[in-house]
Amino acid sequence: MPKYLYEFPIGKIWTEEKNGKIISLGCEEHQLTEEETKETPLIKETKKQLDEYFAEKRKVFDLPIELRGTEFQKSVWKIMQGIPYGKTMTYGEIGQRLNTKGYQAVGMACKNNHLMIVVPCHRVIGQKGKLTGFFGGLDMKARLLDLENNHDYSKEKR
């Protein structure tokens, strides 16, 4: 599976492609072997769209992606994809849309999202605007929200 690591304003993000779809965008430390590293046309397009996002010129991504998870997780991710740029939803609001009180399950679905930014789990926040859980760390979540909202989330209570 082709993978590639790029440097962006928030840090390094690697992307992985399989069968013509992006299956993973991640920020955790990831050592890529020379055999794994391949910059395909789709991976280049992903970088282009992320560059546009960080330049505040793109608000919606138009990439072929594959959501890998349970049906519940996929339903959470579909709702997250519908959260507009510059807006947020709480874990509870997503749970209400799914007719479940299992807000922790919503949080776990966010945690297991392998397509950060494109499936915008950073737009999901706790009650009263509290920033909670993000696999890239709360500082990265705050920076993404700051970019989209022109609001200094880095000063929010955590």
Q: Is the pLDDT of residue 158 over 50?
A: no
Q: Render 28-90 in DSSP notation, one character per residue.
A: S--PPPTTTB---HHHHHHHHHHHHHHTT--SS----B---S-HHHHHHHHHHHTSPTT--EE
Higher pLDDT pick, 3 / 66: 66
pLDDT at 118: 96
* 121 assigned to active site: yes
pLDDT at residue 102 tops 50: yes
What pLDDT is stored for residue 104 in this prediction?
A: 86
Nearest to 50 by CA among 40, 39, 60: 60
Binning pLDDT at 50, 70 and 90, where does residue 157 land? very low
Neighbour tally for 93: CB within 10 Å: 17
Q: Which of 22, 121, 140, 144 is catalytic?
A: 121
Q: What is the mean pLDDT of residues 61-73?
A: 96
Name the more confident of 88 and 102: 88
Are 88 and 125 within 8 A, CB to CB? yes
The span from the CA of 136 to the CA of 10, in Å, is 10
Listed residue (122, 116, 49, 63) closest to 87, CA to CA = 122
In Å, what is the CA distance from 76 to each residue of 1, 26, 43, 59, 90?
26, 19, 25, 20, 12
> Which of the pair, 155 or 13, is modelled with greater confidence?
13
- State yes or no: pLDDT of 24 exceeds 50: yes
Q: What is the pTM of this model?
A: 0.87
**pLDDT tens column, 25-62:** 987 666 666 666 778 999 999 999 999 999 999 999 99
Q: Give the span between the Cα atoms of 12 and 130, in whole angstroms.
A: 25
What pLDDT, on the 0 to 100 scale, is given for residue 87? 93
Q: Is the pLDDT of residue 85 over 50?
A: yes
What domains are there in the chain, each with its CATH number? 3-54 (no CATH), 71-155 (1.10.10.10)
Neighbouring C-alpha atoms within 13 Å toward the C-beta of 80: 27
pLDDT for 12 equals 83
